[in-house]
Structure 1
Amino acid sequence: YETLDFAKFNVVFAYLSPVVMPEIWNKVQNEMPPGSWFLSYEFSIPGVQADLILESEQGAPPLYVWQL
């Protein structure tokens, strides 16, 4: 993800280590266009409230969704 230009995308989906979530969130905010979507499976961004949290079934990891 570090070499990708997120400005080219309207939707970015991540399933990465929770350790890198603050770093990727910074990249998302700096590069993605307004109105685009960032989705993260299982891991939230510390201190940032998701716009939507989806659960496919009880006990399954959630999908966190943010609209820029």
Structure 2
Amino acid sequence: DIVIFNPDTEHTFGVEAEHMNVDYSSYEGVKVKGKVETVLSRGKVVIQNGEHQGKAGDGQFLKRGECVKV
């Protein structure tokens, strides 16, 4: 994957602009500098100008091993 990040853009977190399945965020209203503009996965644009361009089934689940043995 490739992420195109603009470090000069100012961005305010809000649930309307984020791609989450919830109506709240602990970051609501937090202003930050820098924003992801474009995301490419396997050569295809999947995020452009804050909008998801991909389609269901484009992703692949990668199972991770344990990070800490208990």
TM range (shorter): under 0.3
Q: Which has the larger radius of gyration?
A: 2
TM-score normalised per structure 2: 0.22
Structure ranking higher in helix proportion: 1
TM-score normalised per structure 1: 0.22
Structure ranking higher in strand proportion: 2
